[in-house]
Structures are given as structure tokens and as C-alpha cells.
A and B are shown apart, each in its own frame.
Chain A
């Protein structure tokens, strides 16, 4: 059996310098490799035409190029696309492409499954199956039809990004470096449930925006929705956020899924305004689309609007996120769980 080769795609410039050094190639080869990997649309080492045949053969002996095309694509009537990538045997990850006027936002996964067990999340029902490498994260942007016109990236797909922080930071480095995709970090948002130590490191080592899944300001209620509250209470998360400057271009936002009769009351508005007092932030309200086995439902539109208006009246800029791709299982985890289950039945 042929040994599994290392992948070039997903390596940083420093790692590519190491690759070049290990193969006895000049240091500038690393820059050429980065150029082929991240700036040109090729799919094999053999296509790196400014490298000599001998160098390409040397590389091919030890490495594969490393990009993977999606295994399945679903297209919503509203233009949203859901891509399914296979990362290993029976392991699926999802990527959503959301077009909106002149913007194309890609929602990437950072793990296969998730460990966090949030009550309202479909991905949680898969359990945790593995980490994605930086290459597998960036590949979700690179290998979709819209790759050339992606304007924004959100780490809000499957998994908890701060539970795979090394690879997430590496993927952001590839996306934002001049030798990589050269994107502005201000076009990247990483969403987390708030793993405090990792959040501190993320804020220190990257310039991307931060989004925190809040969902309720009350301790006991959050515990029943999100087990992470036991280890990292939201008050501690907010306390850590207060140490950072968000008055410039860098943004922090709070994601808030509304659940009927649970977290959509005036008491919640009041407590949210107390909790977030003094932080320059925004709240994104999200309509809940029920997942199997979950007793939660979304409130009606009137309640959602009233909740939004109350928060805005309190001085917290609040918007309601448009629901997209409902006809294609756009809620994270639905499609891959469906695919995983159908494969298990074979």
C-alpha cells in the first residue's frame, strides 16, 4: 500500500520554507509554492510550471497537492448553496455559500462534529469525530464554485473553532497573508461559544472579528442550553471581552437565537443590556429552525421584532439575521448528519 503523503495545501509560508529546506531546494521555492497553492487555480504539483521537472518529482515523492472538490452541492431557491465535503471514511463536513447583493459569504466548518453538546444544535447530535486541518478549512473556500468572488468568511459551520484553535489561526494566516489569499482580517468572523483561554489567544494572535454565541444572559438557563456555561460562564466570557479594544475596526458581536417563551422576554432584554453595558458591540438575533429531538421553537415575527426594538432602545445595535437556505437543510449539521446516516445504512 502506498504511504499517505503529506499535503502541501494548508501549509504556511514558514512551513513551505521548511519543505524546501528539507528537499534541498532554494528558499525562494517556498514563495513559488505559496503562489501556486493560494493564488492560482491549479490542482496538482505537476502543474507548477515554473518549477523544474526534477523539483516537481521531488515534491511529488513526498507530497500531494491537497485540495478536495465537494462531494455534493445543494442549491436553495434563494441562491444559498450547501457544499458537502468528505474528509475521510464516512466523515462529512458542510460549507454554506450565502450570496447577498454584492457580497458572497462562506460559512466554514472547523471540526467534524462537535463536542459542545448545545441543546439547539444539530451538529452536536453527531458527537465529535475529529479536527479539521488548516488545509481542510481553507479548502472549503478554495474548492467551491464561487471561490474567486468570496468577500466574507464566517467560522460558523460545524464545530467549535476555539476547540481547534491552532488550525483555525493557521487558516486565518493563510487567508490574510500577502503570500496567501491576501484577504483583510476584517472580512473574517470567528464564532465561538466562549472558551475563555482560547478566546484570549485568538484576540491576541489574530485581527479577525469575534462573534459569541450568547443565547441567554442567565446562568442557569444558559447551562440548560449550553453545557459550556458550566466551565466558562458567560459573565467570564464578557469580562475577558472587556479587556480588549473593540472601538476601532475590529468588531465583537453576540449571536442570540430566539426561543419561544424561553429567552424572548423583557427580562432578558434588561439583563442583556446590563451584561453588555459599556461594550461596543452588536447583537444578531437569529430565528430558530427546529432540529429533530429538540423541544425548542421560534417565537413569532412580532415577538422577534419587539425584542429587537427593545434592545435597540437600550442602545445595543441589534439586527435580525435573514434566514437563508431553509429548503436545503441550511441549519448547520443537518445535511452532513443526513448523509452520514444514509451511508451507515449501506
Chain B
């Protein structure tokens, strides 16, 4: 059974090197990187080889010593409560990185909610943020993961939307509210969306209404 699952999903065991809670119930989970990957790629992970793996975006940079993923603990979930309890030295099973959610140097806007920031953070840590604007939407200010780093690197190209708390610093409202308020959106830029399905669908519809060709919109949804 174990072998079947490991073979089927092409998983291999690794020992975790770090598990840091960076915000309530949100963790950066790491193990030693072997080989190369493209920022924006995903990886399959399971803590139990008898259980099917789940897919997570890599959030670390291509030159980082560790490969990391960002996850929030889903109450009653099969995997994340287990991952949250793990300590360095514990074993998990991972696939090779795969996927094609990648961004070139052409002008683009990256739009994420919550932990959907992960692939964009990986791209930025990998130095691939030329001509990019990042819009991150969260409910509360402590969910702007990696905020200090992103602010330093992206400066005014880092827009934060906080929907449930008025901070005085961030845009107060949802990402869709922010986008509705913009007078003009570039129709030539690409738009990359990452997060929950409903956000992706709402933002995509909004961009299309504002004249962005749908072929310019790329979405990664948490399945």
C-alpha cells in the first residue's frame, strides 16, 4: 500500500528542517532543497504515505537552501493539522516540483489572497519581479505574510488590501473594491491570480469587464 502510493505519486521521503508559525495558524514549512525548480511551481506533500498528497505552491526562492511551502491550518483537514505539529527531523513525503504558473519579465500584476501570496513570494525571492505589481488581499493585517521583505523589495508596487480591519496604512476593503476604484487598468499587462476559487472568478470577471483580454489572465486556484 505504502509503496503503491509512493510510486503512484512519485513521492520520496524528506526530513523537515523548519516549521515556523509566522502568523496565527499559518506556517512556513521547510526541508532541504535538492535540485532546481521554477518559481511558481507546486509540490505534492503528504505526512502519511497511505494518504493521497495535497498540492502546495513553493514559497522559497530558487537559491534558498531550503524548499518551503506556506500553509494555513484547516480545522478538520487531513494534512495541515498534522504538518502544524511537526518538528525538524520529522519525515514527510514530497514530489518533485512541477507546474507552469510562471511569469516572465513582461509587465504584469500579481493578485493574491491569503496564502495565495506563496508563488509570488517565490518569484520575488528569486529576483524575478521586474515590471511587477503585487496586490495582496487579506482579512486582518497580521495576514500580510512576508510584509517587511515585500515592502522593502517592491516599495510602491506592493499594494495591501485589508478587508476586515481599518489599519490606516493599508487599503480598507477587498481586492475587488480596490480594482473597481482604479480609473484605468493596462490592457497590455498580464494578470496572475492566486487564491481561493471565488476570488479568482470574481477578479477575473472584473478584469474582463474593465477591458482586460481574458488571454492575459492566468489563474492558479487552490484545489
Q: Is A88 at the interface (CB under 8 A from chain B)?
A: no
When distances are taken between beta carbons in the complex, the residues of chain B under 8 Å from A219 are 100
Q: In whole angstroms, what is the CA distance A127 to B215 when docked?
A: 21
> Closest approach, in angstroms, between the C-beta of B190 and any C-beta of chain A?
10
- Are the CB atoms of B196 and A230 closer together than 8 Å? no
22 A–B contacts, CB within 8 A, in A order: A114-B197, A115-B221, A115-B223, A116-B221, A116-B223, A117-B201, A119-B204, A124-B201, A125-B205, A126-B198, A128-B196, A128-B198, A163-B223, A219-B100, A223-B100, A224-B215, A227-B221, A228-B223, A230-B101, A230-B218, A231-B220, A293-B208
Q: Does B55 contact A (CB under 8 A)?
A: yes
Given contacts A128-B197, A231-B55, A294-B205, 16 further A-B contacts (CB under 8 A): A115-B197, A115-B223, A117-B201, A119-B204, A127-B197, A197-B8, A197-B9, A219-B100, A224-B218, A227-B219, A227-B221, A231-B42, A231-B99, A293-B205, A295-B208, A296-B214
Once the chains are docked, how many angstroms separate the CA of A125 from the CA of B208? 14
Q: Are B214 and A295 in contact (CB under 8 A)?
A: yes
In the complex, which residues 39-81 of chain B have their Cβ closer than 8 Å to any Cβ of chain A? 42, 52, 55
Contact partner, A231, options B9, B197, B223, Cβ 8 Å: B223
Residues of chain B contacted by A66 (CB below 8 angstroms): none
Q: A230-B220, A293-B205 are in contact. Are A224 and B8 (CB under 8 A)?
A: no
* Chain A, Cβ-Cβ closest to B55: A231
Q: Interface size (B, Cβ < 8 Å)?
A: 27
When chains A and B are docked, how far (Å) is the Cα of A78 from the Cα of B52?
44
Indicate whether A200 reaches chain B with its CB closer than 8 angstroms. yes
Q: A197-B52, A231-B42 are in contact. Are A115 and B222 (CB under 8 A)?
A: yes
Across the interface, name the chain B residue whose C-beta is closest to A224. Answer: B215
Chain B residues with Cβ below 8 Å from A197 are 8-9, 52
Residue B217 lies at the interface, judged by CB distance under 8 Å to chain A: yes
Q: How far is the CA of A110 from the CA of B222 in the complex (A)?
A: 18
What chain A residues lie within 8 Å of B222 (beta carbons)?
115
Cα–Cα, bound, A238→B150 (Å): 40
Contacts of A144 in B (CB 8 A): none
B152 on interface, CB distance cutoff 8 Å: no
Whether A161 is near chain B, meaning CB under 8 Å from some CB there, is no
Q: B119: nearest residue on chain A (CB-CB)?
A: A230
| Complex interface bits, B84-107 against A, C-beta within 8 A gives 1, otherwise 0 | 000000000000000111000000
Given known contacts A231-B55, A231-B223, A233-B100, A116 and B205 CB-to-CB distance under 8 angstroms: no
Cβ of B138 within 8 Å of any chain A Cβ, yes or no, is no
B209 within 8 A of A: yes
Q: Does B200 contact A (CB under 8 A)?
A: yes
Contacts of A223 in B (CB 8 A): 100, 218
Q: How far is the CA of A75 from the CA of B39 in the complex (A)?
A: 51
Interface residues of A, count at CB 8 A: 27
Query: Which residues of the partner chain B approach A231 to less than 8 Å between Cβ atoms?
Result: 42, 55, 99, 220, 223
A230 touches B99 (CB 8 A): yes
CA distance A64 to B62 in the complex (A): 55
Complex formed: what's the CA distance from A230 to B97 in Å? 13
Contact in complex: B8, A200 (CB < 8 Å): yes
Interface status of A190 (Cβ within 8 A of chain B):
no
Closest Cβ of chain B to A286, distance in Å, is: 19
Interface residues in B92-132 by Cβ distance below 8 A to A read 99-101
Q: Which residues of B contact A128 (CB under 8 A)?
A: 196-198
A window 175-212: CB within 8 A of B: 195, 197, 200
The closest CB in chain A to the CB of B212 belongs to A295
Q: Is A41 an interface residue (CB 8 A)?
A: no
Interface centre among B55, B200, B217, B223 (most CB of A within 10 A): B223
Docked-complex contact B201 and A224, CB < 8 angstroms: no
Closest A residue to B196 using CB positions: A127
Q: What separation, in Å, do the CA atoms of A124 and B197 have in the docked complex?
A: 8
Beta-carbon contacts under 8 Å, B174-223 to A: 196-198, 200-202, 204-205, 208-209, 214-215, 217-223
